[in-house]
Structure 1
């Protein structure tokens, strides 16, 4: 039977996949919000440009006419910030609750009867996570940077358009892109991708901080934590090199390590006798074996997935890809992108409940 630490590591990989899918769903909702705001923004932009004939163009006149556009841009990103914050508050509570339940589920009965796992406050975890920078910036600062960069991109593109004699339609098309390509060919696609990366990274940052807070609150049980990367074709060398290494709780290179990072952290439990303050001889052999304090061996994504039932593989990859994966005809690197799947927090709750049942936890 797998030890408590091995079960925690196994659960962490599956949960990280689901969090990635969830973050993709949140990113799409935030981008949809920006896209809706862009309808009014481009209407304002065209109105401003129509009031500035080419022969009357000056930088000062253009900047004054773009004030309303900049206000709309700022309002759109403020709305994204507010919606994202609401989402992250809920996520902080969910992640702390999930990890609490997971710890309880893997403890041998002899330990569970004598040890109470401490809970953490969702609001306090969220506030602390938002006060902690990731990639050198607070979430609010990073979002403000994207907003200001986008406003500057709009302004500079219009200045260049006037200097090069472009029509209003040409300037707007260069910024917005074409409907035929779903507007992905516009200059502002750069900022959409930046916003998506920010949202995904913020989700990982919040979840990671929630886990660390729970680990710290249970220092008598969690002796250290292990870095666990999602090992597939998109994993960075940095994350791959850290995967499997352990650190004291509250220290070490915690995820996310970069924008769009999918790495996670898993608790490493002390041995049963260490957690209870007893000698090893006072613990029965079964409990000793299930909670021995040994770090789980690092497992690659492919190794982990190959050990799952066919139905689970099909759920992650799709039915046909699952068959190809099982028969070894296609490399996992070809179809491990989960961006097409969108999970809400309710979906995560249902999925995790099913996972616990399958694992008999």
Structure 2
């Protein structure tokens, strides 16, 4: 299999493979969240008992953030142990799943390339990925320490606020845990569960992309090309970087560029030309969410070298307006702004409308904005 055939096989397979990885990530996240729930429920059980034993003077001291009595120090100890357990135990679980994923991903690319995979150390791949920042500067080793510290602080805020405002201990616990009537979606813990979901999915994308890069290098590629997903759920940063060719060993930003990023880098030659086609979905819904009688023209294939910018320019006004928003759409159509003009090229952050106005006051005035 030559390089062009390898590229097409990889483009085709990765589109299907990403769907599989999402399901695999969901399984890993489910395991981590189960442990998070167990640790948190045990903490809340201990906390409730300790709060019940506090006298009024101790409650007043607690609202000031001080832990001076034996009972208050117990509360502090319970919160600290909870934080440490989240940080250590969940990090260990994530590492185990990441080692397995790194080994699997490397073997997967070799299989697509019809090459015999060398002995692959998932741990070595993970350790290398841990040294590389992603999604704006995140590092793998800081995920759960940061999550644990944040949720502990927020729980302490809830406790202090609840005691200060005369809430019952049960009401304080419910603010942290959530209420059964709302399936616990209204509690602090559920907010953290959503953070964990985003962090783990992005971390796994980071491992996959790092593994791909190492594999391209071994397969003899010297350049990589960013391949975003051609659909309405792709972010402006990934859309603006789609098709970008970069020297494989040079220092440059690599996906994941943001949380839940789906962009990958494919090995290529210096000209970045790829053989074959790539799929598109001209909708902001996943394929399974689009009724079959509405799929005509929304789902198809384009040349593999078609960039998101080029593909987007061929879509109808309703799709473009929904993706860009009303004001940016006006700039895109009337001001002849390309989609990359709405993004800070270094940080990948969308420029605010205020920043765009400062950059192009004349256009804003002409458009009556």
Q: Give the match's secondary structure for 1:265.
A: strand
- For the aligned residues, what is the CA RMSD? 3.0
Against the structure 1 CA distance between its residues 295 and 327, is the aligned structure 2 distance closer, same or farther, given a 3 Å change threshold?
closer
Within 2, Cα distance between the matches of 1:7 and 1:149? 43
Aligned to 2:237: 238
Q: 1:78 Cα deviation (Å)?
A: 1.8
Q: Give the match's secondary structure for 1:226.
A: strand
Aligned to 1:19: 21
Within 2, Cα distance between the matches of 1:70 and 1:94? 36
Aligned residue among 7, 10, 28 for 2:9: 7
Q: 1:235 Cα deviation (Å)?
A: 1.5
Within 2, Cα distance between the matches of 1:117 and 1:72? 42
Aligned to 2:150: 149
> Given that residues 41 and 73 in structure 1 are in contact (C-alpha distance below 8 angstroms), is that contact kept between their aligned partners in structure 2?
no
5+ residue gaps, structure 2: 300-317, 321-369
Give the alignment of 1:305-344 within 5 angstroms: 317-318=287-288, 321=290, 323-327=292-296
For residues 48-92 of structure 1, the C-alpha deviation after alignment (integer angstroms, 9 at most, x for no partner) is 211213343203234552312320332133221111100000000
For residues 227-261 of structure 1, the C-alpha deviation after alignment (integer angstroms, 9 at most, x for no partner) is 11123332210001111222121343311001121
Aligned to 2:182: 181
Q: 1:297 Cα deviation (Å)?
A: 7.1
- Larger RCO: Structure 1 or Structure 2 (Cα < 8 Å, ≥ 6 residues apart)? 1
Say which is worse superposed, 53-62 or 88-97, in terms of deviation: 53-62
> Given that residues 178 and 186 in structure 2 are in contact (C-alpha distance below 8 angstroms), is that contact kept between their aligned partners in structure 1?
yes
> Given that residues 105 and 211 in structure 2 are in contact (C-alpha distance below 8 angstroms), is that contact kept between their aligned partners in structure 1?
yes
Aligned residue among 272, 281, 293 for 1:302: 281
Against the structure 1 CA distance between its residues 223 and 195, is the aligned structure 2 distance closer, same or farther, given a 3 Å change threshold?
same
Against the structure 1 CA distance between its residues 121 and 64, is the aligned structure 2 distance closer, same or farther, given a 3 Å change threshold?
closer
Say which is worse superposed, 230-239 or 87-96, in terms of deviation: 230-239
Within 1, Cα distance between the matches of 2:243 and 2:118? 26
Aligned residue among 101, 114, 137 for 1:104: 114
Aligned to 1:54: 56
Against the structure 1 CA distance between its residues 321 and 236, is the aligned structure 2 distance closer, same or farther, given a 3 Å change threshold?
closer
Q: 1:124 Cα deviation (Å)?
A: 1.7
* TM-score normalised by structure 1 residue count: 0.71
Aligned to 1:216: 217
Against the structure 1 CA distance between its residues 183 and 96, is the aligned structure 2 distance closer, same or farther, given a 3 Å change threshold?
same
Against the structure 1 CA distance between its residues 33 and 133, is the aligned structure 2 distance closer, same or farther, given a 3 Å change threshold?
same
> Given that residues 228 and 266 in structure 1 are in contact (C-alpha distance below 8 angstroms), is that contact kept between their aligned partners in structure 2?
yes
Within the alignment, does 1:39 sit opposite 2:41 as a pair? yes
Give the alignment of 1:88-103 within 5 angstroms: 88-103=98-113
Within 2, Cα distance between the matches of 1:329 and 1:209? 32
Against the structure 1 CA distance between its residues 241 and 179, is the aligned structure 2 distance closer, same or farther, given a 3 Å change threshold?
same
Q: 1:119 Cα deviation (Å)?
A: 6.5
Give the alignment of 1:249-260 within 5 angstroms: 249-251=248-250, 252-260=252-260
For residues 291-335 of structure 1, the C-alpha deviation after alignment (integer angstroms, 9 at most, x for no partner) is xx83247745327x9xxxxxxxxxx845x84623544699999xx
Aligned residue among 84, 90, 109 for 1:80: 90
Q: 1:158 Cα deviation (Å)?
A: 0.5
5+ residue gaps, structure 1: 106-115, 272-292, 306-315, 334-361
Within 1, Cα distance between the matches of 2:292 and 2:126? 41
Aligned to 1:309: none
> Given that residues 10 and 109 in structure 2 are in contact (C-alpha distance below 8 angstroms), is that contact kept between their aligned partners in structure 1?
no
